[in-house]
């Protein structure tokens, strides 16, 4: 069974940092592109970042302005999102999602709350 499990969310003060992880299982991780998508409370889906299977291609939403870094460890079947200089408006559920042509499998998400 394909499974994606996010972790690393929590409460952080503005200006702080967090590193999210996504553990993948049930499929050949190193053959799939991966993505992060977030959803602010009561709002719609917002694409955050994507990384190709080999890490050769990496893309970010313009709104991040260089504060977030996506990475992956194919040996560990894991996806990461390093988030720096966090702002109140980064408060959201962060989902990891599998796929490069569409997002065919999603984790349950991890909540990041940025508040003083």
The residue among 5 and 16 lying less far from other proteins, judged by its C-beta, is: 5
State in angstroms the smallest separation of the CB of 15 from other proteins.
Answer: 26
Compare residues 86 and 97 and give the one whose CB is closer to other proteins.
97
What 8-state DSSP symbol labels residue 88? G
Using the minimum distance from each CB to other proteins, give the nearer residue, 16 or 91: 91
Q: What is the DSSP string of 42-54?
A: T--EEEEEEE-TT
Distance between CA 36 and CA 114 in Å, rounded? Answer: 18
Residue 43 CA to chain centroid, in angstroms?
Answer: 17
> Do 81 and 92 meet the contact criterion of CB atoms below 8 Å apart?
no
CB of 110 to other proteins, least distance (A): 11
Interface residues with other proteins (CB under 8 A)?
35, 37, 44-47, 50, 59, 61-62, 95, 97, 101-109
């Amino acid at each position: 069974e394909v499974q994606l499990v996010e972790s690393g969310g929590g409460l952080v003060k503005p200006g702080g940092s967090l590193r999210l992880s996504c553990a993948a299982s049930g499929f050949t991780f190193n053959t799939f592109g991966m993505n992060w998508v977030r959803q602010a409370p009561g709002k719609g889906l917002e694409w955050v970042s994507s990384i190709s299977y080999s890490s050769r291609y990496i893309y970010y939403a313009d709104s991040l302005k260089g504060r977030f870094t996506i990475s992956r460890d194919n040996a560990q079947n894991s996806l990461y999102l390093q988030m720096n200089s966090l702002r109140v408006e980064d408060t959201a559920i962060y989902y990891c999602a599998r796929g490069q042509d569409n997002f065919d499998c999603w984790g349950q998400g991890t909540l990041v709350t940025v508040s003083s």
